[in-house]
Structure 1
Amino acid sequence: MRKLDEAAEDEFLSRAQQMEETLRSADHDVWLCPACGATATWAYPGTESKYEKCPSCKCLAYTLESDTVLEKASYESQGRGETVHVCKFCGKRKTSSYRIPRLERESAAAAGGSSGLSSSSGGSSWGGGSSGGGGAGSNW
């Protein structure tokens, strides 16, 4: 078998495989047996990773077309959004809705405030015993 060059292999690729090559979502190598004319086709990941397999035609040409926030989230209510996926080969279109969680107010500790805890370096003492220095410790 011998591997065909890019120009010669198109004759042996389906329209979906040719679309994948155009989009660079996959690369296909076609091998041809000069004696009997049999072919073998191997697919490899392409350089464009934004495409997924279409749920309808199975071509690696399904991609996110838009992601729109329809209502922004607030502290009082959640928001909502919508994504649209489309197949560049068969035209399959899917619209999906999603929810955006309500905003949360930051607590004082998360905002950089004090948590009320403190520590000191050196030894540690508790109940009359003492442990020598050598690391961080705290008083109990």
Structure 2
Amino acid sequence: MRILTVILGLLIATPVFAQNFPEYSEVYVNDFADILPQEEEEAIRNDLKELKRERDIEFTVVTINSMRDYSHEGPIEPFATALFNYWGVGNAKRNDGVMMLIAVQDRHMRIEVGSGYGTRMNGPMKEIIDDVILPRFKRDDYVTGIDYGVDHVIHEVSGSWPGEFNSTGAERALGIAKRGIDAMGAWALALLAPFFAAGAALVRRFQRYRPRYCPNDKSRLILLDELADDAHLSAGQITEETLGSVDYDIWHCQECDHVRVENYKAFFTRYQVCRACGHRAVESTTTILQSATTSSTGRKRIDLDCQHCGDHSSAVFTIPMKSKSSSSGGSFGGGSSSGGGASGSW
């Protein structure tokens, strides 16, 4: 029985999939998915360095393409906790580390916190994810989402905003006022944006559905419904409508059978035009083959696959080497997490 207990203890203490976890290149920002421009990455790194210097709290930001790249299928929570513990984020005695993990292709993220926080950070981290980060991630604005999210997490765990750790009371008040003004501007933009969008939609709707007349006999054309217009579309055009990348209107003359085809590209679509068939049905997938470091360049592969004709192309690109000036070597303090924090998806 004693031997069995020892074996079970070893299994629990040993990270089962440790060999599949990425190895960190620094303790602040590990952008394995390569979504952060160099300048933004450096700005975030400086904020995290300041937190470490002023409050001795280790906070690391990690981006990956997919958890499947590391042999993990399922929720992000166990993966984040295991990666946190594998790296040993935070002080070993206080267990006050923080990890922001973003799995871009999985569209899942988590803010994992050290076991020293107990459960008191679960609610605040969830609010930051839902109110600050995800609204921007849903617009594919990962840079701003991470930047603002990092600022709010730093404030939550330290009581100070980046750049204000040693500021006077008046300076802090000024900073709060400035952020309030910025927030009001953001709220005003958020409130006005639907009206602008509605106005643009009304203009487009008017242009789209205004009367058309036959060039042959000047009779008014009839707009066919979605079922009837498929008879006048090619297979590729039907594929585009199915994917939602392009919508087609068919105007028909009942007098002479003249047909007018009009296309409307979707405002937001991830599909590109195919080099082979010419239809907007190409889906792009990026895979990081080797992350860039301060000593070597990285490599990424972009695969283009047409959902209509099946054309496939693939190209490998070089990821620029990270500048040594932004290097932040060192190692984590040996902290651990018991699964505290919050998650979100978009």
User: TM-score when scaled to structure 1?
Assistant: 0.72
Please name the residue that 2:308 is paired with.
Answer: 89
Output the CA distance in 2 between the equivalents of 1:88 and 1:55. 12
Please name the residue that 1:137 is paired with.
Answer: none
For the pair 1:31 / 2:251, whether they are aligned, the reply is yes
Please name the residue that 1:56 is paired with.
Answer: 276
- Whose helix fraction is larger, Structure 1's or Structure 2's? 2
Q: 1:36-76: per-residue Cα shift (whole Å, max 9, x none)?
A: 11111000112551111100000110120x21111121211
3-state SS, counterpart of residue 272 of structure 2? coil
Please name the residue that 2:329 is paired with.
Answer: none
For the pair 1:17 / 2:17, whether they are aligned, the reply is no
1:44 to 264, 269, 275: 264
- Alpha-carbon deviation of 1:87? 0.4
Whether the 8 Å CA contact 1:28–1:44 is kept in 2: the answer is yes
| Structure with the greater alpha carbon radius of gyration | 1
Output the CA distance in 2 between the equivalents of 1:48 and 1:57. 21
1:102 to 321, 324, 329: 321
Percent identical pairs in the alignment equals 33
- When the two chains are superposed, the root-mean-square deviation of aligned CA atoms in Å is 1.3
Name the amino acid aligned to 2:232.
F
Name the amino acid aligned to 1:40.
R
| Structure 1 segments of 4+ aligned residues over 2 angstroms from their partners | none
User: TM-score when scaled to structure 2?
Assistant: 0.30
- Whose strand fraction is larger, Structure 1's or Structure 2's? 1
Output the CA distance in 2 between the equivalents of 1:73 and 1:48. 31
Q: Which moved more, 1:10-19 or 1:71-80?
A: 71-80
Output the CA distance in 1 between the equivalents of 2:276 and 2:308. 10
The runs of 5 or more residues in structure 1 that have no matched partner are: 108-140
Name the amino acid aligned to 2:237.
Q
Whether the 8 Å CA contact 1:24–1:47 is kept in 2: the answer is no
- How many residues are paired up? 106
3-state SS, counterpart of residue 302 of structure 2? strand
For the pair 1:68 / 2:264, whether they are aligned, the reply is no
Name the amino acid aligned to 2:298.
G
Q: 1:8-58: per-residue Cα shift (whole Å, max 9, x none)?
A: 101111111111100010010001110111111000112551111100000
Whether the 8 Å CA contact 1:81–1:99 is kept in 2: the answer is yes
The runs of 5 or more residues in structure 2 that have no matched partner are: 1-220, 327-346
Whether the 8 Å CA contact 1:81–1:98 is kept in 2: the answer is yes
Name the amino acid aligned to 2:258.
A
